[in-house]
Amino acid sequence: MSRVGKQPVILPSGVIAEIKDNTVFIKGKRGELKNKYPVSVIVSKEEGKIIVKPVDETKLAKSSWGLIRTVISNMIQGVEEGFTKNLEVNGVGYRASVGDGILTLQLGFSHDIKLAIPDDLDVKCTKPTEISISGIDKQKVGQFASEIRSFRKPEPYKGKGIKYSDEIIRRKEGKKK
């Protein structure tokens, strides 16, 4: 039995949920999201709660059960509050800036890296060394933050690169003479 899947998802006031044809529609003050779910689980709405149950005792149904419940919970949290990822750019001459829907990164390469910002995400650079990504879809926010980080991952000797603000980089000692 899934400990996560057993718990119902409580709908806060102001959030509307609809379930049609293996698709969940969630609408709130920040926007609306929809997501398909497999036929191995049953999603129902009862008295301000969304309940997810497996169809049978197969491995697929059991593994989908908790996942679908968590995805629905994240959708509700996204339309209610939103998600934010903060990145830090460390290194001499490393900078980031946003303009006209394009994120420009200067990371020590011979050229600047220009990334188009997706329409449903909001990217801000409060300082040249801080990037804040926010949106209603947790997967898209995390994916875009991961793509930015992949251009220059933090290295363990000097700590140069792009890291999450809550990430801890284990530093290594350099070469000894």
97: which strand partners? Answer: 104
pLDDT in tens, the chain (177 residues): 667 778 888 998 888 888 988 899 999 999 999 999 888 888 888 888 988 888 888 888 888 888 999 999 999 999 999 999 999 999 999 999 999 999 999 999 999 999 999 999 999 999 999 999 999 999 999 999 999 999 999 999 998 999 999 999 999 998 888
Q: Are 76 and 82 in contact (CB under 8 A)?
A: no
Pairing label, strands 49-54, 161-164 = unpaired
What is the C-alpha to C-alpha distance for residues 77 and 56, in angstroms, rounded to an integer?
28
DSSP state letters, the chain: --HHHHSPEEPPTT-EEEEETTEEEEEETTEEEEEE--TTEEEEEETTEEEEEESSSSHHHHHHHHHHHHHHHHHHHHHHT-EEEEEEEESTT-EEEEETTEEEEE-SSSS-EEEEPPTTEEEEEEETTEEEEEES-HHHHHHHHHHHHHTSPPPTTT--EEEETT--PPP------
What is the C-alpha to C-alpha distance for residues 64 and 111, in angstroms, rounded to an integer?
44
Over residues 66-100, the pLDDT tens digits come to 899 999 999 999 999 999 999 999 999 999 999 99
Nearest-10 Cα torsion for 36, 38, 41, 45: 10
**What single letter denotes the amino acid at residue 4?**
V
DSSP state letters, 125-151: EEETTEEEEEES-HHHHHHHHHHHHHT
Global pTM value: 0.89
